[in-house]
Amino acid sequence: MNRAAPAKINLSLRVLGRRTDGFHELETLMAPLALADEVSVEAADAFSFACSDPSLPADDSNLAVRAARLFCLRGRREASLALRLEKRVPHGAGLGGGSSDAAATLLLLNDFFQAGRTRAQLAEMAAELGSDVPFFIWESPAWCRGRGEIVEPTTLATDAEILLLKPPFAVPTPSAYAAWRDARELPGVPYGPQASPWGPLVNDLERPVFEKHLLLPAMKRWLLAQPECEAALMSGSGSTMWALLRVAADGAALAARARGEFGDQLWTCATRLSGRV
């Protein structure tokens, strides 16, 4: 039995303030993408976990493993299963890969064991695993509030093409939030809301992350100057920048030009938003 674990982008991410528990109060519009990892499960004598990406931990620090253990613990079930994760979404990228793997594992095990938990119950479990995990339980674009765990599904026009560009470094999420309050805007870099079919596109984490990783604002400015690109924004806490392509624009040509400009180490992926499943 298997299940897709889609990546996400943030169409809008506003940080409203720092909370006393160390988290930040958010208001963010997130949308799942067609780009996805895949989680699969089979019955086995004992628990095992295998991942196609050897650079990821295969022990209990992997969020998919933690999700499987939590699901079995809550249902008082033996974790007698072989879990496998096929990675396609880069990590440390602001694309929610690890969170989505965890949510897909909960959804998959709910089916596998025919456990009959509702999405609301799974979302509650998901919130114990990370702020972004409940979003992926709903399998829909959504407004997320609180530290991210209060999810309000919404519908969006999904016929737009998106180009993802990730340089060969990761941004640790805690460092982006920690630098948010004192961060300044770099001169000449556009941070303001950009018009789009989904409302204004803006990301308050660009300020702290751009200050530290100067390639990212350079990529944003470069993207905005390309004829194929209607808007460009960082996703989550980075390091992925995403471009909203104009209707009938050649995404492959833009991706090739971006690799020419920023180096062959740049990971690119042409994808689309994915609507309610």
Binding footprint of ligand C5P on the chain (CB under 6 A): 23-24, 26, 130-132, 147-148, 173-174, 177
**Could you tell me the CA-to-CA distances from 191 to 97, 150, 156, 232 in Å, in that order?**
25, 26, 23, 10
Q: What are phi and psi of 52, to 5 degrees?
A: -70, -20
**Residue closest to ligand C5P when measured from CB atoms:** 131
Q: Is 154 left (phi over 0), alpha (psi -120 to 50) or beta?
A: beta
Task: Give the integer Cα–Cα distance in Å for 134 and 141.
Answer: 12
> DSSP string of 94-155?
SS-HHHHHHHHHHHHHHHHTT----HHHHHHHHHTT-TTHHHHHS-S-EEEEETTTEEEE--
Choosing from 101, 132, 166, 204, which is the catalytic residue? 132
Q: Which is nearer to ligand C5P, 57 or 174 (CB)?
A: 174
Q: How far is the CB of 3 from ligand C5P (least distance, A)?
A: 21
Q: Which is nearer to ligand C5P, 27 or 250 (CB)?
A: 27
Q: Which is nearer to ligand C5P, 84 or 145 (CB)?
A: 145
Question: Any catalytic annotation for residue 132?
Answer: yes
Map residue 16 onto helix, strand or coil. Answer: strand
By the 10 Å C-beta count (0-12 exposed, 13-18 middle, 19+ buried), 34 is classed as: middle
Q: How far is the CB of 147 from ligand C5P (least distance, A)?
A: 4
Task: Give the integer Cα–Cα distance in Å for 7 and 271.
Answer: 10
Q: How far is the CB of 255 from ligand C5P (least distance, A)?
A: 29
Q: Which is nearer to ligand C5P, 132 or 161 (CB)?
A: 132
Choosing from 8, 87, 166, 220, which is the catalytic residue? 8
According to DSSP, the residues that pair with 244 across neighbouring strands are 162, 231
Cβ–Cβ < 8 Å for 246, 224: no
Q: How far is the CB of 127 from ligand C5P (least distance, A)?
A: 9
Q: Which is nearer to ligand C5P, 174 or 260 (CB)?
A: 174
Q: How far is the CB of 48 from ligand C5P (least distance, A)?
A: 25
Taking Cα atoms as reference points, which of 216, 226, 213, 234 lies closest to residue 256?
226
- Helical segments of 138-244, H only: 173-178, 206-212, 215-224
Question: Any catalytic annotation for residue 250?
Answer: no
Q: How far is the CB of 95 from ligand C5P (least distance, A)?
A: 13
Q: Which is nearer to ligand C5P, 23 or 191 (CB)?
A: 23
Task: Give the integer Cα–Cα distance in Å for 73 and 67.
Answer: 10
Query: Which residues participate in catalysis according to the annotation?
Result: 8, 132
